Structures are given as C-alpha cells and as structure tokens.
Amino acid sequence: MRVLLVEDSPRLRKSVTTALKSSGYAVDSEKDGEEGLWQAQNHEYDVVILDIMLPGLDGLQILEKLRKEGNEAPILFLTAKDTIEDRVHGLRSGADDYLVKPFALEELLARVETLSRRKYQKRTSKIQVGDLELDSAAKTVQRAGQSIDLAAREFSLLEYLMLRKGQVVSRTQIEEHIYDDMASPMSNVVDSAICALRKHILVDKESVPLIHTRRGQGYVMESRQ
Amino acid sequence: MKSIRQRLLVWLLPGLLILWGAAGTALYFSVKKGLETKFDSELRELVNPVRFLLWARYSGDERPQVPGNFRGLDVHAFERPDSGTYFQSWDKRKRIEKSESLGQIDLDRWPSLTEQAKFQNLTLPNGDIVRAIGMEVRPPPGFRRGGGRFGPGPGPPRGDRDGDRREWFGREFGGPRGPERTVGGPDREERGRPDRGRERPEWDRGMEPRGADGRPRGGYGRPDEIDVVVARSRTEIDQTLTMLLGGITFSGLIAILASVVLVRIALGQGLAPLEKVGEQARRIDASSLQTRFPSDMPDELRPIAEALNGLLARIEDSFERERRFSSDIAHELRTPVAELKSMAEVAIKWPEQADAENYEEVRDISDQMQALIENLLMLARLEKGKAQVQLSEVKIGDLVKSCWQPFAEKAKARSLVIEFDLNSDQTWKTDDKLLRVIVSNLLSNAAEYAPEKSRLICTGRDQQLTLANPAGDLTKDDLSPMFERLWRQDKSRTDSSHSGLGLALARSCADAMEMKLDAEITRENQLQFSLTRT
C-alpha cells in the first residue's frame, strides 16, 4: 500500500512516516502543498494524508484539484483545525476522513488501513485466497492453520496481491503501491520480493502455489485447485 | 433610591398633592372672596334703605315711600326676628335706633366710624354669626327738622339715656303703633307685631312734629352724623363655603386617588421602553453579543441604546479576539503536542526506530513550548500592567548588537546584510530586559521574514530606534494586525520557531516602558519599525 503524507511539520512528518513504513506502507512525504499535489497527480496512492494548513497550496485546495481531475484516492485530513465547521467543510469538500491533531498514532494507522481497504471494496480486515488467510488489522497471515511471519513490506505485497485476487497485477503497479520513491524503478526488487513471498507462503509440501506469473503482464494471485 | 419608578412616584405624587391642595385652596378662597365681596356689596346696599328710613324717622315721616331702587331689597327683613338682617344706629346724642329683628340684643357701637364703610364678622349674643357694615351716615341736604318728609323736625330729643333707645323703625316700618307711623300700607298695619300698642316715650311724643291735621308726625328733626351698623347673617354664605370646602376636599381626594392610578399607569407606559431595553440586555450573553438594540426607541433612550450598541460592538470584538486568540493558542500547541505524541508512540511501538536524534527533537519541542508559554505569561502580565519596569542606563549600541548575535547565522544563511547606524556611547534610561525583548523580536522577525539577500538597517537616535528592511509582499493592511497576538502573514506556516507573539509582546513591552512601537511601509517599500521614547 502506498501512502502520500503532506505535512509541513518536519518532526510530525518524520514520526508518521516512520510509523507508516513500519506498518508496511510505502510512504512518500512532502512538506508543502504544491509538491504534495504534484506527487498525488503523478502517482497512484492508496491513501493520501493531507494537512490543511500548508505552505503553497493548502490541503483543501489540493483536495479540490484532485477531485476535479477525477482522482479518487482516499484522502484523510490530518490537521489542527478542530471545529465542527472545519470538519464538516473538509468532509463535504470530498475528504474521506478527518483526524485532529494531536492524534493517537494507532488511530491514524487504523484509519489509513480502513481507507486503503475501502478502495478495494473490502469491509472486513480478513482476506482469503485458497487456504491462505490474511488479517490486515492484526497483521497476521495463516495458511492451513500455520502462522506465517512476514516482513512489513512482504506483508504489504501479499495484502496487495490478495486484495486484487484473480486480477493481473503488473510490476509497475506493485512498485507504485509497495515501494516509495526511494526504490529504483530499474531494479528487480519486485521480482525478488515475489520470489521471497512465494517461499514464505509455502508452509509444507502440500501447499499449492497461489502466486502465478503471467509472462509479460505481471502476477495473478488465485487458488487453482 | 434605586428605582426610577419609585423616584418619580415620590416626586410626582407629593407634587400633585401640593398642586391639588393649592388649587383647592385657591378655589376656596377665591370663591370665598367673591361671595364676601358680593355679600359686602349687598350689605352696603342695605345701608341705603336703613339710611332712608332713618331720615324718614328723624324727619317724622310716618309713611315713607320706599324708593324704586330699594325694591329689590327685602327691607322688611329688618322686622323679622329670624331674618338674620339687623341694624342699629347711634347719633351724637346717643340716641339709638335698631331693627326689630335684634329683639333684646344690641350691636356694639364701633368706634371712629366714618363715611368710609368698614366690615366685620361678628357673633351676636343670640349665636347668629353675621357680617356687618359700619359707617357714618349724614342727612341729605334737604333734610329739615320736623319738616315732614325731609322737612323741619321737632329737633332731637334731649338726653342720652338707655331709654332713648327706640325701636321705632321696626314698629313704624314693620308694625305700626298707630296708622300714622306705618310705612308700607294698610296691609302692614294688619300684621301682628309683638310690640303693637306700646307707648312711645314722653320725650318722643313731645318732640315729634305735627302734620297739617295737627296730629303728631314723630321724628327728632335734623340729626348730626349717625353711626350705623347693618348686619346680616353669614349662615347662607358659610353654608355655601362649607359645601364648597367639602366639594373641594372630596374632589381633591378623588383627584389624588385618580392621580395615583394615572401616575402609575403613565409611569408604566413611560418606563416600558426602558424595561424592554433592560429585558433585552438581560438576554444578552457571551453567545449573543451580535445582538443590537433597535433604533426605534424614544428620544430619551436612543442615546443609551446607541451607547449600548457601541459597547456591545466593542465587547463582541474583544470576545472575538479572545476566542481567536484561544483558538490560535490551541492551534499553536496542537502541532508540538502532536509531534511529541507521535514521536513517543513510534518509539514505544518500534523501539528500534528511536535514536538520540529523537530525544533532541523532544527537547527542542519542549523548549519551543516553554518559550511560547513564557511569552504568553509575559504578555498577560504586561497587558494587566503587572510587569515591573526597572530603569537603568542602557547602552543602546551594545544592546542592539548583542541582541543580533543569535540571529546572525540565520541572516547569513539567507544572505541578509545588516547595517548599524548606532552611537556606541548613546544611553537610554530604560528597562534593559524589556528593551531586549523588543529589539530581539524585531531582529528575529527581520532575520526570518526579510526577503533573501536584502539589507537591514538599524538606526539609533536620541529618542528613536528604527529597524528597516524591504517589505516584500507585506502591505499597509498588514501593519495594524501584525501587532495582534499570534498573527502571521502566512497563516499556513505551522513551524514553531515563530509563534506570532513577538510583535504583540514587543508592543506591550513598549507600552509598559511608556514608549511607542509603530510600523510603517515607506515610499521605498521598506518595512520600518520605530521605537520612540515619549
């Protein structure tokens, strides 16, 4: 899952980025509105976290421009503006969620997770493909009753593939959603990650492969039994 | 007395009471005066028939013709004991004549009577309260002793004894002793008189003149001046006055009661708009400060309503500023608190992510929050006038340069150049600490917000210290609000190095030291702050 954070407070930006990355999200962070808008226009984010009071363009202006362009990325306002009028105005402007500073980090992560799930029309935190079950809230993966330990990014990759089960997911899409701008587009980081993930989800000899390669197209996750 | 209604009642009701009393008294006495004047006039009129009859008697005229101008007067009233009309006369020979209505009682002779009438109220021995006229009357020019009607008479009887007292008038005029002495016709003769047939005194018979038929005609002859007192009962006039007094008293009481009711109603009506204003004012609280009193008020209340509206506008403005300030303060604190909280939560959840840099950031955030709190407290103290100003001789040049030191590095990074035009020996007697707050804030703002690569000019004079730098995108509209608390030109900036309290604090410090801190944008588009000693 890829998240854009636009926040002018460097310390807050750093903390939230750390928390999101530690939770398996790919995070791009910007300190001013214009940079934030450019990022949102040029990448497909699963969630955009916007401060309202930003240098350059404010959060509401960014939201307005994105919605006008047809960008439907879930947007969460993270702001110190706490009045009812501010919240109502923000939500009515097209934001999907509104969180007032200071906030609990767990709550922010939960809301980001909910927003990212909503994008894929999932109401529960549990996703199942064959005998593989992933709980995005508990951050757990089980197969045939066995628990599988995954790194945050591997978990995120698996979650992304499971959310799009039956669909071909290209390498570019995976890069877009799992890796931030720090990842080199020329590297084979996606292939390596897929390879590693395949190994992790084979819990025994009877485990059937769930991640399939479509040559020249990408990967499909499905149970072919 | 706190109530206008009570105050007005206290003034109006006694006032009306006095007014009604004065009006009633004036009415009573004017009517009394009018009645007495009329009464006196009638009394004066009564003197004429008395005089006529006296002369008739003195001249021996037995059957005097009552002149036409007496017709309107009840001259026969002198005969009736209960008529309340009396007279008595005294001549210089102490002969006394009196009306039959007096009976056995006498009127007192008034001393020193002249032709000028005198009036008195008297109480007769019979209990009758009368008003009397007393005057001296003289015989008419044609009067002759014993000469019949106004003819020569037998001369006055001698002797001034009590026996001289004669009630001839009543007998002669009202009831004849003999047909020759009857005045008023046979019908008068037929009337029964208590003294009918009384013998006339000897002296009287001897002195009275005789007529052509040889019969005695009566009369004393020409008298000298005669003192006459004519009295008439006041009963009627006193009854009228008593009724009038009762009527005035009764109507006065009714008027007072009506006044009380009317005054209360009038006060209620008159004070209703005032109560309406009070009611409106009572309903105004902190949440309804936008309320204004209507302008369609009575003229007397309009200035009050306008003054209250002005006051409300000022209070609303003040409340709005306080609300904004509270909101701004909350906003100022939200971001550093959010920073601290998120850093702590990250460190708790992912300890491996925490490093020394995090703690340094926590310390920096704490320092900034502490600075914010101290600035707020200092501002509150200054605005309450509780800051203590400690005067000392301060070298301005040294102070300004030492204040610049913390910002020199930042200015250098932004390619700012500062020029000092200061006299190193120049001193001001002022508060060193407060002056440092002012100068530090001005220099800090200049270092932070002056356009990059610009020049700052700091000038010190005897009475003024100025700091100028290019205004950039500041406009004249920004000059006034920039001294408000937590004002920032760029509202979106939430970096906590500048809270927006600096200029408000600087101005409060200047006020505390009785200095003036102003900002202006010069023709050269320079933002210039001036600190002036007053």
Q: Are A24 and A160 in contact (CB under 8 A)?
A: no
| A75's tokens | 């947007």
In angstroms, the CA A194 to CA A210 distance is: 11
Q: What is the least distance, in Å, from the CA of A211 to any CA of chain B?
A: 31
Going by pLDDT thresholds of 50, 70 and 90, the confidence category of residue B12 is confident
Amino acid at site B373: I
Q: Residues of B with CB below 8 A from A100's CB?
A: 334
In the block, tokens 């669909």 appear at A167
Q: How confident is the model at residue B221 (pLDDT cuts 50, 70, 90)?
A: low
Query: What are the respective helix, strand and coil percentages of chain B, to the nearest 5?
Result: 50, 15, 35
Task: Look at B196-200, B285-289, B465-469 and tell me which has the smallest mean pLDDT.
Answer: B196-200
Show the beta-strand stretches assigned E in B110-249.
Answer: 118-123, 129-137, 226-233
Q: Identify the three-state secondary structure at position B529.
A: strand
Contact B331 A105 (CB under 8 A): no
For the stretch B52-70, pLDDT in tens is 777 777 777 666 666 655 6
> CA angle at residue B216 from B214 to B217, to 5 degrees?
115
Q: How far apart are CA B225 and CA B92, in angstroms?
A: 7
Which chain B residues touch A106 with a CB distance below 8 Å?
Answer: 345
What is the ipTM, given to two decimal places?
Answer: 0.73
> How many other C-beta atoms can be found within 10 angstroms of the C-beta atom of residue B131?
20
């913390």: which residue's tokens?
A: B406
CB contact under 8 A, B339 and A51: no
- Of B234, B257, B291, at which residue does a domain stop? B234
Q: Give dist(CA B220, CA B57) in Å, integer.
A: 7
Within a domain: residue B51?
Answer: yes
**Per-residue pLDDT band at B474 (split at 50, 70, 90):** confident
Contacts of A17 (CB under 8 A, 6+ apart): A5, A27, A29
Of B234, B268, B290, the residue that ends a domain is: B234
Query: Chain A: nearest CA to B524, how far in angstroms?
Result: 27
**Residue B24 within any structural domain of the chain:** no
Would you say residue B307 lies in a domain?
A: no
The DSSP call for residue B67 is P
Inter-chain CB proximity B334 and A15 less than 8 Å: no
Q: Decide the pairing of beta strands A75-79 and A97-100.
A: parallel
Using pLDDT thresholds of 50, 70 and 90, give the confidence band for residue B192.
very low
**Confidence bin at A6 (pLDDT 50/70/90):** very high
Say whether residue B121 is in contact with chain A using an 8 A CB cutoff.
no
- Please check whether residue B327 lies inside any domain of the structure: no
Q: With an 8 Å Cβ cutoff, is B341 touching chain A?
A: yes
Say what the pLDDT of residue B184 is.
32
Kindly list the structural domains of chain A, giving each domain's residue range(s) and its CATH number in brackets, ordered by start. Answer: 2-119 (3.40.50.2300), 126-221 (1.10.10.10)
Contact (CB<8Å) B345/A9: no
Q: Of B234, B252, B275, which marks where a domain is finished?
A: B234
Q: How far is A138 from chain B (nearest CA, A)?
A: 14
CB A163 within 8 A of CB A128: no
Cα–Cα distance between B169 and B80 in angstroms, integer? 12
Q: Is A151 on the interface with B (CB under 8 A)?
A: no
CA distance B101 to B79: 5
* pLDDT tens string B285-318: 888 888 888 888 888 888 888 898 999 998 888 8
Average pLDDT over residues B169-178: 36
Contacts 24+ apart (CB under 8 A), A176-181: A176/A2, A176/A43, A176/A44, A177/A1, A177/A2, A177/A26, A177/A44, A177/A46, A178/A1, A178/A2, A178/A26, A178/A153, A179/A2, A179/A26, A179/A153, A180/A2, A180/A26, A180/A27, A180/A28, A181/A28
Q: How far is CA B110 from the centre of its chain?
A: 54
How far is Cα B219 from Cα B216, in angstroms, rounded to an integer?
A: 9
Please, which pLDDT band fits residue B355 given cuts at 50, 70 and 90? confident
* pLDDT score for B178: 33
pLDDT tens figures, B30-57: 998 998 888 888 888 888 888 777 777 7
Contacts of B337 in chain A (CB under 8 A): 101-102
Any idea what DSSP says for residue B154? Answer: S
Question: If you count residue pairs, one on A and one on B, with CB atoms under 8 Å apart, how many are there?
Answer: 80
Number of domains observed in the structure of chain B: 2
What is the residue range of B521's domain? Answer: 391-533
CATH label of the domain that carries residue B434: 3.30.565.10
Q: What is the pLDDT of residues A111-133, one digit of tens each?
A: 998 898 887 777 778 888 888 99
A87-A18-A62 Cα angle (round to 5): 35
User: How many angstroms away from the CA of A196 is the closest CA of chain B?
Assistant: 24
